């Protein structure tokens, strides 16, 4: 009986400890899940957020608010085209860049065509810089020297020589520009930076979730707030002014920049990354989700094209060798034959170009073309 009681007691202790550990794990998991859920201040919906998100878009009602629950009312967006229009623009891009591969626009198989709304901060920035430095110039200097005339007599001659001199520079730079910044720290997509340059603020409109929700876009939250954006923009513009000032100087001593940021606006911009398969390999193409036009894309280089460019490369090597031989023959003649010389030089140059382009294409996996 004593052995049974001891066993029973030990089992009960083990069960109690196990339950306590399980309860603790549940509490930890519950706290972790709570940290990843944001409750929309407008519709009270639960939204999954990332650890760095500071501006949240509700995928239920479309409202946009800070992580503290303050709604952002003045914000913009660009409208978006549907997946068929995006694919149409993508096929047109392939058709314009297919080269010898006539089947590319038809046989390319789209495996992903998703619309993504990326967060962008925009503002007008007036910047004024004052800088000092110096630049090197050639300064004329009058010098004298002794020269001997035809009769053997020496005389003193004055002439002008040039020596390096240093000129102090003090100037100003004034700009008033539209600045934009992707409000993400980690998200980087193929062609996104090129797309950012094409955003036209004149095409924007007031944020309207009802207008785009049927397109089922993925909406990225912002990881950079307005204050961090304005600080980053100050640094970017100041660096730009400093680079401009330094470009005309030998040395820059001082450059002070004051910036005034106004009209800071939160913008949601439609971007799409199409992934497609061709002859067993995957390629990608960045699409402007507003217009449906391609921004940047990869064009496959087929086996047939590699064979063709390899042949071109070998022809180039042969042509360059023949050209060099003609030049050698022309130089060995008693009177240089200009026809041989000119023909040889021309053939050598053309051959080298053909060889470089031929073997360069052979080593490439794909070409990259702008839309």
Rounded to 5°, the CA angle 277-278-282 comes to: 40
Rounded to 5°, the CA angle 180-185-189 comes to: 80
> How does pLDDT run across 141-185, given as a tens digit for each residue?
888 888 887 777 888 888 888 888 888 999 999 999 999 999 998
Lowest average pLDDT, out of 243-247, 277-281, 343-347, goes to 343-347
Q: How confident is the model at residue 14 (pLDDT cuts 50, 70, 90)?
A: very low
pLDDT score, position 31: 37
Task: Give the Cα separation of 31 and 16 in Å (integer).
Answer: 23
Q: How confident is the model at residue 266 (pLDDT cuts 50, 70, 90)?
A: very high
Q: Break the chain into its structural domains and give their ranges.
A: 2-66, 75-131+179-299, 135-168, 303-370
Whole-number average pLDDT of the chain? 82
| Structure tokens, 367 | 């070409």
pLDDT score, position 336: 64
Q: CB-based burial of residue 257 (10 Å sphere; 0-12 exposed, 13-18 middle, 19+ buried)?
A: buried
The pTM of this model reads 0.69
Lowest average pLDDT, out of 21-25, 157-161, 295-299, goes to 21-25
> How does pLDDT run across 90-114, given as a tens digit for each residue?
999 999 988 778 888 889 999 999 9
Lowest average pLDDT, out of 15-19, 42-46, 209-213, 312-316, goes to 15-19
Higher pLDDT, 19 or 76: 76
> How does pLDDT run across 237-262, given as a tens digit for each residue?
999 999 999 998 989 989 999 999 99
Cα 40 to Cα 54, 59, 68, 124, 181, distances in angstroms: 13, 9, 10, 30, 25
Q: What is the mean pLDDT of residues 8-28?
A: 40
């Amino acid at each position: 009986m004593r052995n049974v009681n001891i066993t029973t007691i030990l089992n009960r202790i083990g069960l109690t400890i196990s339950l306590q550990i399980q309860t603790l794990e549940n509490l930890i998991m519950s706290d972790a899940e709570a940290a990843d859920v944001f409750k929309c201040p407008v519709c009270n919906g639960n939204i999954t957020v990332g650890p760095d998100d500071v501006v949240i878009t509700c995928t239920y009602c479309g409202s946009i608010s800070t992580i503290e629950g303050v709604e952002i009312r003045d914000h913009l967006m660009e409208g978006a085209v549907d997946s068929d229009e995006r694919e149409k623009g993508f096929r047109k891009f392939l058709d314009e860049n297919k080269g010898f591969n006539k089947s590319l626009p038809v046989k390319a198989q789209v495996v992903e065509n998703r619309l993504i709304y990326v967060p962008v901060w925009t503002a007008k920035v007036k910047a004024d810089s004052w800088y000092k430095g110096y630049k090197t110039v050639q300064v004329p200097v009058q010098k004298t020297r002794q020269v001997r005339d035809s009769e053997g007599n020496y005389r003193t001659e004055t002439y002008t020589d040039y020596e390096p001199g240093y000129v102090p520079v003090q100037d100003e730079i004034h700009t008033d520009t539209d600045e934009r910044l992707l409000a993400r720290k980690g998200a980087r997509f193929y062609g996104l930076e090129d797309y950012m340059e094409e955003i036209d603020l004149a095409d924007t409109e007031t944020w309207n979730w009802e207008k785009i929700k049927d397109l089922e876009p993925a909406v990225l939250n912002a990881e950079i707030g307005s204050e961090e954006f304005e600080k980053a923009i100050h640094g970017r513009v100041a660096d730009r002014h400093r680079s401009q000032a330094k470009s005309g100087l030998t040395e820059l001593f001082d450059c002070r920049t004051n910036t005034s940021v106004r009209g800071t606006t939160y913008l949601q911009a439609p971007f799409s990354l199409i992934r497609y398969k061709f002859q067993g390999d995957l390629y990608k193409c960045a699409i402007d989700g507003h217009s449906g036009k391609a921004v940047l894309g990869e064009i496959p280089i087929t086996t047939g094209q590699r064979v063709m460019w390899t042949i071109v490369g070998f022809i180039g090597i042969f042509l360059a060798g023949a050209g060099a031989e003609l030049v050698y023959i022309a130089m060995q003649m008693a009177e240089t034959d200009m026809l041989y010389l000119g023909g040889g030089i021309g053939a050598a140059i053309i051959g080298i170009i053909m060889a470089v382009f031929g073997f360069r294409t052979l080593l490439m996996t794909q070409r990259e073309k702008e839309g």
